[in-house]
A and B are shown apart, each in its own frame.
Chain A
Amino acid sequence: NAGVMQNPRHLVRRRGQEARLRCSPMKGHSHVYWYRQLPEEGLKFMVYLQKENIIDESGMPKERFSAEFPKEGPSILRIQQVVRGDSAAYFCASSPETVVGTQYFGPGTRLLVL
């Protein structure tokens, strides 16, 4: 049973470019969460999605960041016009519907903005 998959594992972008991070949840999981881990900081919640719905985006920056989880395909976290402060590790997690809090994390995407 494959775990949560994220790609790419490493992404380098120049300031002003767009970054697209992909996440495929574990089989049978319909809940997807995105977290960001800044250098020297802990993991911070960004957004919670179910298929075709954003449930909670209270942790998302108001501008340049968006997320989706379409009916078919992976969840996408999109960062437009990246800035150096966006450099971080971005983790996706998924959970089964019935268990509150039990989330399984992917290996993360390390974004570096030059």
Chain B
Amino acid sequence: TQLLEQSPQFLSIQEGENLTVYCNSSSVFSSLQWYRQEPGEGPVLLVTVVTGGEVKKLKRLTFQFGDARKDSSLHITAAQTGDTGLYLCAGADAGGTSYGKLTFGQGTILTVHP
């Protein structure tokens, strides 16, 4: 059974600060997804990283996939109140009939105070 450990579980910061969320596993994933979920809604895809060592930037968000494809991080620069929400990482399994099945981390609840 693949597991993804996401940390921290809760993060409360002031507007303008930087933050990093981590996602770690002992398993190798074929790809790693980051989602953001608002209350009462479904997860919204932010990014997919596929190649070990890959770095992707989306405005103030930087996503990194570890060289061994077992871990990932999400870094937000100069956080804004609009960044408040639940952030989820999810690893994709490419083996056999589990093709594409996502294993989710527990999530990080980010609160950005004005």
Contact = CB atoms under 8 A, between A and B. Distances in A.
B30 A100 contact: yes
Interface stretch (A11-19, A71-79, A101-109): A101-109
B42 A108 contact: yes
Interface residues of B, number: 30
A43 B97 contact: no
B68 interface: no
Contacts of B97: 48, 55-56
Interface stretch (B17-25, B31-39, B55-63, B73-81): B31-39
Contacts, number: 80
Interface in B54-104: 88, 90-92, 94, 97-104
Given A33-B101, A55-B99, A100-B94, A42 B106 contact: yes
Contacts of B99: 48, 55-56, 100
21 contacts: A4-B42, A42-B104, A42-B105, A43-B90, A43-B104, A48-B99, A48-B100, A91-B43, A99-B48, A100-B50, A100-B92, A100-B100, A101-B29, A101-B30, A101-B31, A101-B33, A101-B92, A102-B31, A102-B45, A105-B35, A108-B42
B43 A105 contact: yes
Contacts of A55: 97, 99
Interface of B: 29-33, 35, 40-45, 48, 50, 88, 90-92, 94, 97-107
A11 B80 CA distance: 35
A50 to B, nearest CB: 10
B42 A103 contact: no
Contacts of A4: 42
Contacts of A48: 97-101
Contact of B107 (A6, A42, A59, A107): A42
Interface string A1-35: 00010100000000000000000000000010101
A99 to B, nearest CB: 7
B63 to A, nearest CB: 13
A18 to B, nearest CB: 23
Contacts of A56: 97-99, 101
